[in-house]
């Protein structure tokens, strides 16, 4: 089999393998299966390696790029900055534009080959996006430009026209938003030890990472100090100002809800929260709710009441 044909079949097999992994694990994938990979003609093809730009032994050009997760106290070695053109920027391996890994991505760009982008969400956990294409190279800034495309575009011959650029810009923006949502959720739930801050519920599938100040607010950044781990019920109650949280972390329930008479869900799920402090708060000071954010949000709760 010709090398180019084999590379193409391996890429398609890798995309099929990733779809199966997402069906099994959800959007955030563990590193183990990615590094183990799959069998292609009785030979193993891993999808990740120790370096950010990865080429399996069976292939002649890179298959994937990886952005490492942010770890406490450490800088991210690769960054997924968004450029003014709406596409991502991926940093070179090292500072030598002629390093074989950088050359490999440059050739992949010239040949318009689809790759996989693994975004580090946490240690050993990644969001996989495919197909992505290298669409630009800036040796002065030591970066490649990366566009995310629709998975249905894998079998479409790249054209380089305006329609393709518009589609990729749109898909890249959505992909980056999803990445930030997942990373925010992971950081918040980890800080709150996968428990609802109001009721201690410990079922992650029933928990959300809620914003104190919303995305639309100038300071509504997806950072842990602007987040609360809340179960579905208390997230909805917080968003709709049924409950509020004072800057001293005491929960208040809106007066009309306190006056209402209904079944045990209302009593135990909402009314009995009134006047009690949050049940679970992050251990690290930097992860705890920002008091200024809570104060601003509490003022909105008071107006709604």
Same domain? 47 vs 176:
yes
pLDDT at 87: 87
Percent of the chain having pLDDT more than 70?
Answer: 92
Same domain? 273 vs 217:
yes
Same domain? 27 vs 171:
yes
111 pLDDT more than 70: yes
Task: Decide which of 167, 188, 209 is a domain's last residue.
Answer: 188
Same domain? 143 vs 286:
no
Task: Decide which of 153, 171, 188 is a domain's last residue.
Answer: 188
Weakest-pLDDT range from 84-88, 213-217, 246-250: 84-88
120 pLDDT more than 80: yes
Same domain? 169 vs 210:
no
94 pLDDT more than 50: yes
- Mean pLDDT of the region 192-214: 96
Percent of the chain having pLDDT more than 90?
Answer: 72
* CB neighbours of residue 124 within 10 Å: 13
Same domain? 151 vs 251:
no
pLDDT at 76: 47
Same domain? 213 vs 171:
no
Domain that holds residue 274: 195-304
Same domain? 112 vs 65:
yes
33-71 pLDDT, tens digit per residue, is 999 999 999 999 999 998 899 999 999 999 999 998 866
The predicted model scores a pTM of: 0.79
164 pLDDT more than 80: yes
pLDDT at 75: 46
Same domain? 9 vs 34:
yes
Comparing 211 with 4, the larger pLDDT belongs to: 211
Comparing 259 with 222, the larger pLDDT belongs to: 259
Same domain? 163 vs 217:
no
């Amino acid at each position: 089999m010709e090398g180019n044909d084999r590379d193409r079949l391996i890429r398609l097999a890798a995309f099929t393998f990733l779809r199966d992994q997402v069906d099994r694990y959800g959007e955030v994938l563990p590193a183990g299966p990615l590094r183990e990979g799959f069998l292609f003609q009785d030979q193993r093809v891993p999808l990740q390696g120790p370096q950010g730009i990865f080429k399996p032994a069976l292939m002649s050009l890179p298959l994937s790029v990886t952005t490492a997760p942010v770890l406490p106290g450490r800088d991210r070695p690769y960054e997924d900055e968004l450029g003014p053109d709406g596409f991502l920027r991926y940093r070179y391996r090292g500072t030598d534009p002629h390093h074989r890994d950088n050359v490999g991505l440059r050739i992949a760009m010239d040949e318009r080959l689809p790759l996989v982008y693994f975004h580090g969400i946490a240690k050993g956990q990644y969001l996989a996006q495919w197909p992505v294409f290298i669409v630009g190279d800036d040796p002065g800034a030591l970066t490649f430009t990366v566009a995310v495309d629709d998975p249905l575009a894998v079998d479409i011959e790249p054209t380089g026209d305006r329609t393709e650029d518009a589609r990729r810009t749109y898909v890249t923006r959505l992909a980056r938003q999803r990445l930030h949502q997942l990373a925010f959720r992971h950081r918040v739930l980890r800080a709150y030890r996968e428990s609802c801050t109001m009721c201690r519920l410990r079922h992650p599938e029933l928990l959300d990472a809620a914003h104190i100040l919303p995305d639309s607010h100038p300071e509504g950044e997806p950072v842990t100090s602007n987040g609360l781990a809340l179960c579905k019920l208390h997230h909805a109650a917080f968003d709709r100002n049924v409950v509020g949280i004072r800057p001293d972390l005491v929960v208040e329930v809106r007066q009309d809800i306190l006056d209402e008479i209904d079944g045990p869900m209302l009593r135990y799920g909402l009314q009995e929260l009134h006047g009690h402090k949050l049940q679970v708060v992050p251990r690290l000071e930097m992860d705890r709710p920002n008091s200024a954010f809570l104060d601003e949000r509490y003022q909105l709760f008071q107006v709604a009441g």
